[in-house]
């Protein structure tokens, strides 16, 4: 068994080396939904071993702290953050951890979100909960990363407003070793979202970005989607918090509000595959995250070409072809999945394929119809003053742009507006025609990616060439699945014909609605 143990050890060393090579200096060992067992002595011994392996590479370890741990493993009757026994339990636990791991980074917390316990269970605020844990780790230099991904157990008028409503009033109430960790958008890592309104809204609180590197909503392990352009779109968005030029990047790097404590998190796509990420191009998103974390002024092309040179070749034609593939890939995925600001229209129980028909579940805001609101009059979620008024959570200059049907960028049109099917787009086409063509455009972009990749057959080793070729074939088939299923479904509301130059769907709408995937990831 010794060689096997050594193999695992070297795998962890390789993991640490890879992260260190792009500037990643911390890793949370447990999922945000983890139970309290990792805080028990037997598991902390395992954490200590990993910390010892990672330390030479500058990689600190952090743990998810389950809020109810004092009850589940501590024998207490409450986890109320204002209870003296609970506060002492966390202080004792922090001392225990730091005695084993002197450079332990601190805790990541998901609380009062998607069924996870939290301070609101006891009538307390997120600041009360975060500050209790922050006090426990502060003597040792530890931090608390408190996630703002929350939405009420009682269905709100618009889930997109929930995090802002809960956290904005708490600005200035968090201790100085707490960072509020905010997803790039207000729903949940959709193929495209406008930037989260909390960025710029809490100037007294260090705000930490949470990007998703793994492609939960972007084809998971088989679709080629280079995400640096998506990250950059968010980072370069102007919040107008201190006038024009107050970008999201300046909020999270601390420069806008003079914060010393800063951070950026990525939900990792690193697995047990020999190439780490399954799809080879998944590596480029891991790499891009690390590069942008320390220099958000780098262009997506620069980052792509760095990665291509290290991964494939220094030949100009190879670099050019692969750069073209990568730079068009994210927009292609958005086009065949969620064009013009559509969002949250994936299947039920997993986040893989299309499911715009999902309705009548135990929470309306876990269904697709809640978000696209298609009817005979049009499609899209009205977040203007005539609807949920989520636009009011942005600074006036941003709110004015998003509120105006004419000024709203078309890439966010259906995120902020319920738009008639015959609305004239900037192209001159009616919305239904433009939507149909956008779905088709996404498929065509994947076909173009296939053709470009094929030209590289003699420039890339056979194994990697064939793997990417196979995944692109899957991606093409599934892009057609998204196009056909969504257009057939939305056609039932628009009442308009699907353009003749779009290939006829391979199956009926009933066929697509009847597909089930009981073993898909997420179930």
CB-CB neighbours of 18 under 10 Å: 18
Q: Of 166, 188, 193, 480, which residue is the catalytic one?
A: 188
Dist CA 24 CA 264 (whole Å): 10
Dist CA 147 CA 112 (whole Å): 10
For the question of residue 157 being annotated catalytic, the response is no
Torsion angle, alpha carbons of 423, 402, 215, 345, to 10: -40
For the question of residue 438 being annotated catalytic, the response is no
Structure letter (DSSP) for residue 447: H
Please enumerate, as own/partner, the contacts of 468-472 that have beta carbons within 8 Å and a separation of 24 or more. Answer: 468/224, 468/279, 468/280, 468/281, 471/222, 471/223, 471/224, 471/279, 472/224, 472/446
Dist CA 231 CA 227 (whole Å): 6
Q: Of 216, 250, 438, 478, which residue is the catalytic one?
A: 216
Q: Of 45, 77, 85, 114, which residue is the catalytic one?
A: 114
Which element (helix H / strand E) includes 307? helix 300-311
For the question of residue 216 being annotated catalytic, the response is yes
Q: CA nearest 65: which of 97, 101, 42? A: 97
Matching residue, tokens 């047990």: 272
Q: CA nearest 439: which of 342, 321, 326, 511? A: 342
Query: Which regions of 380-437 does DSSP assign to beta strands (E)?
Result: 419-420
Beta bridge partners of 420: 378
275 Cβ contact partners less than 8 Å away, ≥ 6 residues apart: 283
- Letter string b/e over residues 394-405, b meaning 16 or more CB atoms within 10 A of that residue's CB: bbeebbebbbee
Q: How far is CA 219 from the centre of its chain?
A: 13
Where in the sequence numbering do the catalytic residues fall?
114, 188, 216
């Amino acid at each position: 068994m010794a060689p096997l143990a050594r193999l695992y050890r070297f795998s962890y060393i390789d993991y640490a080396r890879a992260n260190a090579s792009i500037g990643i200096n911390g890793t949370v060992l447990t999922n945000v939904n983890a139970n309290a067992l990792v805080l028990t002595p037997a598991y902390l011994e395992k954490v200590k071993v990993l910390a010892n392996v990672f330390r030479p590479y500058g990689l600190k370890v952090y743990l998810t702290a389950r809020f109810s741990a004092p009850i589940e493993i501590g024998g207490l009757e409450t986890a109320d953050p204002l209870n003296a026994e609970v506060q002492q339990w966390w202080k004792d636990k922090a001392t225990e951890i730091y005695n084993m791991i002197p450079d332990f980074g601190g805790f990541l917390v998901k609380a009062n979100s998607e069924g996870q316990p939290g301070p609101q269970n006891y009538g307390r605020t997120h600041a009360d909960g975060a500050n209790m844990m922050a006090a426990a780790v502060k003597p040792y230099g530890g931090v608390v990363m408190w996630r703002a991904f929350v939405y009420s157990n009682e269905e709100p008028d618009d889930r997109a407003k929930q995090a802002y409503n809960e956290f904005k009033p708490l600005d200035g109430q968090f201790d100085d070793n707490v960072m509020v960790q905010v997803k790039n958008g207000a729903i949940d890592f959709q193929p495209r979202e406008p930037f989260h309104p909390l960025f710029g809204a809490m100037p007294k609180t260090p705000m930490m970005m949470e990007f998703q590197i793994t492609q939960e909503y972007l084809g998971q392990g088989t679709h080629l989607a280079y995400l640096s352009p998506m990250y950059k779109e968010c980072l370069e968005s102007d919040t107008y918090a201190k006038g024009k030029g107050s970008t999201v990047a300046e909020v999270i790097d601390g420069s806008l509000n003079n914060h010393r404590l800063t951070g950026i998190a990525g939900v990792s796509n690193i697995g047990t595959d020999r190439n780490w990420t399954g799809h080879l191009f998944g590596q480029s998103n891991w790499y891009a995250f690390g590069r942008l974390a320390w220099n958000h002024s780098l262009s997506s092309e620069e980052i792509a070409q760095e990665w291509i040179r290290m991964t494939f070749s220094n030949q100009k034609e190879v670099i050019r072809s692969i750069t073209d593939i990568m730079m068009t890939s994210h927009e292609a995925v958005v086009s065949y999945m969620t064009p013009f600001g559509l969002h949250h229209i994936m299947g039920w129980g997993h986040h893989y394929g299309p499911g715009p028909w999902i309705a009548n579940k135990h929470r309306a805001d876990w269904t697709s119809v809640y978000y696209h609101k298609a009817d005979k009059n049009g499609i899209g979620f009205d977040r203007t003053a005539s609807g949920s008024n989520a636009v009011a959570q942005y600074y006036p200059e941003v709110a004015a742009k998003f509120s105006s049907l004419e000024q709203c960028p078309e890439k966010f049109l259906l995120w902020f507006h319920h738009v008639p099917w015959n609305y004239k787009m900037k192209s001159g086409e009616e919305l239904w025609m433009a939507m149909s063509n956008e779905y088709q455009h996404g498929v065509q972009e994947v076909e173009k990616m296939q053709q470009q990749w094929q030209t590289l057959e003699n420039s890339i080793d056979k194994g990697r060439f064939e793997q990417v070729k196979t995944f692109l074939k899957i991606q093409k088939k599934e892009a057609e699945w998204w196009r056909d299923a969504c257009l057939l479904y939305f056609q039932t509301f628009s009442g308009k014909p699907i353009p003749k130059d779009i290939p006829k769907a391979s199956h009926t709408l009933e066929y697509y609605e009847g597909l089930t995937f009981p073993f898909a990831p997420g179930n």
